[in-house]
Copies of this chain bind each other. A is one copy, B any other.
Amino acid sequence: MECGLLFSGGKDSGLAALLLDSFYDVTLVTAHFGLTDDWEHAAEAADSLGFPFEAVEMDDDVAESAAEQMREDGYPRRGIQQVHEAALEAVAAEYDVVADGTRRDDRVPTVSRAVAQSLEDRHGVDYVAPLSGFGRNAVDRLVETHLRVESGPSEAVPKGDYETELRSLLRTRWGDDAVEEVFPDHEQTRVVGRNAE
């Protein structure tokens, strides 16, 4: 079955890809808004793992609405959640199986059973979250064994997906301070290959 896995280029979605690899025909899908070309970082990460890659463009309205939400809240959670759900919808329109890299301990994005079931029923797809039964320590240990990653602050290691564009949109609208307020001290990872077994 054709599985579209939402992929940021980071370690969680990279590990999710390895977990699903034996069970589905996995394509790594990066959802973006066409605001920057940061999705190319995700394309390179996908290539380093040996998976096919697709970039899907979401509607600008989703970015506008999320940026306003985050600016108003002063934290990213609800805005990111909106965008993640829109990204799942975009993938569900194209694939038999929709997946993402959400972990057990993630505070955002989260995909509740109700949201998962609704996505499945409306699109006739399966939604699978292979890391949702893994905590942070288990994920970190598996990443260390199976992936080569680089990590650092967001400015040095931009994510490949919508998050970097949302920062850019906040900066354009409200300046650097708005980005700092919404996303303080954010550490990112980017996959640069698999470890030899």
> Which of B105, B133, B138 meets A131, CB within 8 Å?
B133
Asked if residues A142 and B19 are in contact (CB atoms below 8 Å), the reply is no
Q: Which of A49-57, A122-130, A177-185 lies at the interface with chain B?
A: A122-130
Q: Is the interface of A mostly helix, strand, loop or mixed?
A: mixed
Chain A, interface residues (CB within 8 Å), range: 20 to 34
- Tell me whether A153 is interfacial, beta carbon within 8 Å: no
User: Could you say which residues of chain B place their CB within 8 Å of the CB of A19?
Assistant: 19, 23, 130
> Which of B105, B120, B141 meets A1, CB within 8 Å?
B141
In this complex, what residue of B is CB-closest to A20?
B19
User: Could you say which residues of chain B place their CB within 8 Å of the CB of A18?
Assistant: 22
Asked if residues B135 and A133 are in contact (CB atoms below 8 Å), the reply is no
Asked if residues A129 and B133 are in contact (CB atoms below 8 Å), the reply is yes
User: Could you say which residues of chain B place their CB within 8 Å of the CB of A22?
Assistant: 18, 22
CA distance A23 to B134 in the complex (A): 12
Please provide the 10 A-B residue pairs with the shortest distance between their CB atoms, ordered closest to farther: A129-B133, A132-B133, A126-B138, A128-B134, A128-B138, A132-B132, A130-B133, A128-B133, A126-B137, A23-B142
